[in-house]
Structure 1
């Protein structure tokens, strides 16, 4: 008799044992046959979403370093515009994968060094402005910048250098400011390349996820890996709502604060949020995680896909920088709707999907904020 591995939900309840196929096997949509196994879900998540995402981010940071280097070598309005455009493309590439918070991204304070946020006390701005005023040479070389505060190393710092007060001098040859920008871009290029290589390493994090072991401190079973992936989705939409949207939209009826938005100087606030949603949608769809349930629970994945589409449509309605968008009723309504969508997705992924898979996604790092 032909043998198949049983779907994830049943696998987790049956100690991940194979079973014989029979007339009762449940075909699932989107996969061309039986529901995916736990190993297939993990393999698809890595090969179809995570690795391509980190590869794309590595390519974007390489382009950014090249563009900033060109702006330093030949200052002009055109080279500054190209550097700013490359910054925007890198923000999009980063935002698609920043919520894949496991493995390489969590090592060596990488996430904080890439994006120090939220920064409620304005630490990054103070440190970057001080470096620009003092011409701190240790900030103008990647080899020494890496040993300084993480708040000075990432995209928040680079955004101010490229778009903040005094940035126009880059077009006429502000040599120190440009060297500091290049140091950040170079540092981020190296980090991105390292993370992509670590995800590509067949003996690295991929092996730990694909072959969980009792000796692994984090991934002892497929259940724990599945909980990790489901948690990425649930906690990801929570982060979008609580750290990206509500701080500038205003909590509990408070007035909007456009300058509390991430990337407001560069106009990348909403594009980055849209990319956050898109990255999570990509992980859910390509991993087929929501298909690894009983037939009566397939509505969860369909519902989540519908809400991710709603998020994309709402974000596309916001065409102005965040301050102007908040002043326009139609765009403000679209931003408010993104909060509603995030709450719906939080329920669908953190409660309904987790329950359908027999999992617990645990507590978010945001709990208690």
Structure 2
């Protein structure tokens, strides 16, 4: 009897150690993923800053297109971090500074108009003392897409360059913030909870990006969409889903692998398949505006929302119990 008890205890310890090793490897893989993404974001911020400076020195239609393309590239890289609400506290503190959204009252537009009305030569330092609504990607979008004529004068150009420099600073701070692994000091199980929480938070945020402009059937609110000025909100939402898929897989060491290691192959297959199906059936176009105008377009967004809802349900009601995780409230609760 005693030998059996000892043998079972040793087996339990070995099993627990194996699980902890898997979870530690997952934590390291996710940290590396964030480091790579932060480096890409910094590079794109530098490219946007350079493109805007070049436009202001030599204005042309091609230079404006180059600046817009650089802005879109920065937005694509920002979608990796948007809405996760877990990880480095220093990185999370930069979120509103990089992107002020939702902006239901068009605070960005009003604040930008006020800045341009002031007799001030704007610099990154002076801008840092203003509202976060004028320091990030939304402010740059306002200039590049809604009011490119303001780039024809020195005052508007100085503001654009200052915003570009501010985004560069934010990108540098983000990269520095991710130098350290924020989950390293946690127990493997706590780190796993943070991982699932980050994926859950980003999923909730992505669904909010859909629900706000969709409004109620027959009464859409297109100006509540993210990046409505550039009509790129749908492309950015797709980048969110791609980022969530990458986070779920985590280079073969993420939730997918952990579920399979626990014998939850069917659940892992369903989740991985849902991500693939969502992306394969993605609606055509860059923005939400056109889809909100037609019944078929609106139905395609409902289908998209249902697909995201399925992943949300699986995370909360299946994945978390299977891995012994308690997922708490997130950043969008109570909105």
Structure 2: gaps spanning 5 or more residues: 1-11
Partner of 1:209: 183
Contact map agreement 2:233 2:288 (CA 8 A) in 1: yes
2:213 maps to 248
Question: Which residue of structure 1 lines up, in the alignment, with residue 175 of structure 2?
Answer: 196
| Residue 178 (structure 1) aligned to one of 143, 153, 157 | 157
Is 1:18 equivalent to 2:17 in the alignment? yes
In 2, the alpha carbon distance for the partners of 1:108 and 1:39 equals 22
Work out whether residues 87 and 183 of structure 2, in 8 Å CA contact, stay in contact via their aligned partners in 1: no
Pick from 272, 276, 282: which aligns with 2:236? 272
Greater Cα shift, 99-108 or 121-130: 99-108
Distance, in Å, in 2 between the alignment partners of 1:271 and 1:289 is 25
CA deviation vs aligned residue, 1:300-328 (integer Å, no higher than 9, x gap): 3222222222322343x221533223224
* CA distance in 2: counterparts of 1:105 and 1:187, whole angstroms: 20
Q: Secondary structure at the match of 1:353?
A: helix
Task: Give yes or no for the alignment of 1:238 onto 2:204.
Answer: yes
SS in 2 for 1:359: coil
Tell me the secondary structure at the aligned position of residue 255 of structure 1: coil
CA contact (8 A) 2:103 2:224 kept: no
Unmatched 5+ stretches in structure 1: 1-12, 20-33, 213-218
In structure 2, C-alpha distance between the alignment counterparts of 1:77 and 1:131, rounded to whole Å: 25
Instruction: Give a deviation string over 1:183-221, Cα, whole Å, max 9, x none.
Output: 111111122122223323xxx3x1x423x2xxxxxx3x2
Report SS of the residue matched to 2:305: helix
1:154 counterpart = 2:154: no
Change (3 A) 1:107 1:60: closer
Partner of 1:38: 23
SS in 2 for 1:37: helix
Q: Give the 3 Å change call, closer, same or farther, for CA 300–278 of structure 1 in structure 2.
A: same
Query: How far apart are the structure 2 equivalents of 1:14 and 1:147?
Result: 55
Residue in 1 aligned with 2:227?
Answer: 263
Listed as ranges, the matches of 1:1-369 within 5 Å are 18=17, 37-47=22-32, 49-104=33-88, 106-107=90-91, 109-137=93-121, 140-164=122-146, 166-170=147-151, 173-200=152-179, 204=180, 206=181, 208-210=182-184, 212=185, 219=186, 221-242=187-208, 244-251=209-216, 253=217, 255-286=219-250, 287-293=253-259, 295-315=262-282, 317-319=283-285, 321-369=287-335
Partner Cα separation in structure 1 for residue 232 and residue 57 of structure 2: 26
Distance 2:245 2:91 in 1: 24
Report if aligned partners of 2:199, 2:248 keep a CA contact under 8 Å in 1.
yes
Tell me how far apart the structure 1 counterparts of residues 64 and 246 of structure 2 sit (CA, whole Å): 32
